Amino acid sequence: MEGRGDSILNTVERYYKDYGLRARELRNEGRRLTGYVCSFVPLEIITASGCIPFRVRGDIHEPITTGDTLLETIVCPYYRSCFDLSVKQKYDFLSGMVIPHGCDSMVRSFSAWSYSLPFPYFHFVNIPTVCDQSSIEFFSAELNTFKKSLERFVGKSITEEDLAKAIRVHNENRDRVRDLYEFRKTDPPLISGTELTRTLTVGSSLPVDEANGLYDRVSAEIKQRERSPVKKGPRILIDGACLDNVELIKLVEELGGSVVADTICNGARDYFPKTDIGGNPIDALARRYLEKVNCPKTYRANRAGTFEGDIASRFGDTGVYAKEFKVDGSILYLYKYCDPFGFEVPARKAYYKSINVPLLHLEDVYSAGTMGQLRTRIQAFLEMLG
């Protein structure tokens, strides 16, 4: 990735706007890119196979058209947008696609994806819904099946060493993301939420080593900063699923808030948990993705036997981030038709109350057109926070 102008963040913006720019170059160089959605696809296995994982994203500015001729509008709008862009050939540089059992929208539309897109490789990874010893064993077996299918596709075997190396480099990637989050801790933060999410979004379109290089350069540049790009204001945590367009964050920041933390799928949910090293790499991956990625889709048994104990264990990470990043308020931003997150709203509300963090709950339809309506509510919330 070549920088242009004086700032690496300008480069980030360019790659963010022309998403897939680098991927197309790599494709022209003969590399294979494997698309994926959701935080449940073990990217380490893709990297270990020699393919480049590429996160397929949606676009809130692009009306959903072709996609709607093949897929019901009761699929969550974020996922519909990803599908729409894919069937419109926006990601035609991909050689394959991996879809996990992340939610009903993903499972039930798998055939629509796999029959409508011309990629030579397609794979579905089944993710268990519970978290216990038997589900870890099952998941390890399922990941071995995934590994074998990729081996068939690339025509070479993936060794333990390949996996260990990929695990190392993806962990390094997560460390670098953590470093970027550190810049959010000052008040006002040294990096804006818009800049951070843009950077991570671009990172997920690059080979992991290039993403690591990018994050280093962004870090180096931010370190030099003497002033924050945002004014001091209420410190906001964004709670929700995948937020791969920065408009909402930008809006909060335009209105005087600072986005300093999140739980989103292309943020802390995905980047904070690391894979254990040593031991069997597939088992370690099974544990990371099932036990450590805290997604509402995974049912976690109520061991406390009380509601308060249950929410403390299910949403405890949010409380930790709220403290660590000195959060003043949280915006729970969810998409319509999203069952896994949607059913948790009353419990999450109760949790925020228990940790004394004010909450604004918004339901949206993944469209730039609704930002105007959200503006008033966000403004009122920020004013309330003072």
Partner 1 sequence: MAEEVKEVKPKKRMTATRAAASIGPMVKEFITSTLQARAEGRQKLAYTFIVCHHEEILRAMDVIPIWTENFAGICGAKRDAERFLQRAESLGLSRSLCTYALCGIGFDQWREELGQMPPDAPWGGQARPDFMISSGQIICDPRSKWYQASQQFMPDVPIYNIDLPYPLFQRDQDHRDVWDYYHKYIVKQLRGLVAFLEEQTGKKMDYDRLRELVDLSDRTWNLIDETYKLRRAVPCPMGTGDAMNTMVPINFMMATEKAYDFFVDLKKELEEKIARGEGEVENERYRLMWGGGLPAWYALNDFNYFNSKGASFPVETTYRMVAPLNEMDIPETRDPIEHLAWRWLGYWTFWYDKAKKRPGSEPDVERLINWIEEYKIDGVVMHEAFSCRSWHVGLIWQLHQLAKIYKPIPIYVMGKDGKREKVYRELPSLILESDIIDITSYSEVDTRNKIDAFIETLESIRANRAA
Residue 217 CB partners (closer than 8 Å, separation 6+): 3, 8
Among partner 1, ligand SF4, none, the one that 242 touches (CB under a kind-dependent 5 to 8 A) is ligand SF4
Q: Is 302 in the site for partner 1 (CB under 8 A)?
A: yes
181 in helix, strand or coil? helix
Query: Shortest distance, CB of residue 5 to ligand SF4, whole angstroms?
Result: 35
Q: Is 238 in the site for ligand SF4 (CB under 6 A)?
A: no
Identify residues 315-374 at the interface with partner 1 (CB under 8 A): 334, 336-337, 339-340, 342-347, 349-350, 361, 363
Which pair of tokens denotes residue 291?
A: 């036990």
Q: Is 79 in the site for ligand SF4 (CB under 6 A)?
A: yes
H/E run at residue 260: strand 258-262
- Helices and strands (H, E) in the chain, number of each type: 19, 8
Q: 14 or 349: whose CB is closer to partner 1?
A: 349
Q: What is the full DSSP assignment across 65-122?
A: -HHHHHS-TTS-HHHHHHHHHHHTTTTTT-SEEEEE--SHHHHHTHHHHHHHS--SEE
H/E run at residue 234: none
166 in helix, strand or coil? helix
Query: Shortest distance, CB of residue 33 to partner 1, whole angstroms?
Result: 19
Which of these ranges, 136-144, 164-172, 258-266, 285-293, lies near partner 1 under the rule CB under 8 A? Answer: 136-144
Query: Shortest distance, CB of residue 69 to partner 1, whole angstroms?
Result: 8
Query: Shortest distance, CB of residue 160 to partner 1, whole angstroms?
Result: 20
Rounded to a whole number, what is the distance in angstroms from the first to the last CA of the chain? 41
Q: 321 or 335: whose CB is closer to ligand SF4?
A: 335
Q: 17 or 353: whose CB is closer to partner 1?
A: 353
Residues that bind partner 1 (rule: CB under 8 A) add up to a total of 61
Q: Is 119 in the site for partner 1 (CB under 8 A)?
A: no
DSSP state of 206: S
Angstrom distance (rounded) from CA 271 to CA 170: 9
Angstrom distance (rounded) from CA 93 to CA 379: 41
Angstrom distance (rounded) from CA 196 to CA 181: 8
Identify residues 268-297 at the interface with partner 1 (CB under 8 A): 296-297
Among 4, 17, 61, 108, the residue binding partner 1 under the rule CB under 8 A is 108
Strand partners, 299: 130
Which of these ranges, 72-80, 89-97, 206-214, 270-278, lies near ligand SF4 under the rule CB under 6 A? Answer: 72-80
Strand partners, 329: 236
Among 107, 169, 312, 320, the residue binding partner 1 under the rule CB under 8 A is 107
What is the contact surface with partner 1 in residues (CB under 8 A)? 69-72, 74-75, 101, 103-105, 107-112, 114-116, 122-124, 126, 128-130, 132, 134-135, 137-138, 141-142, 145, 149, 152, 296-299, 301-302, 305-307, 310, 334, 336-337, 339-340, 342-347, 349-350, 361, 363
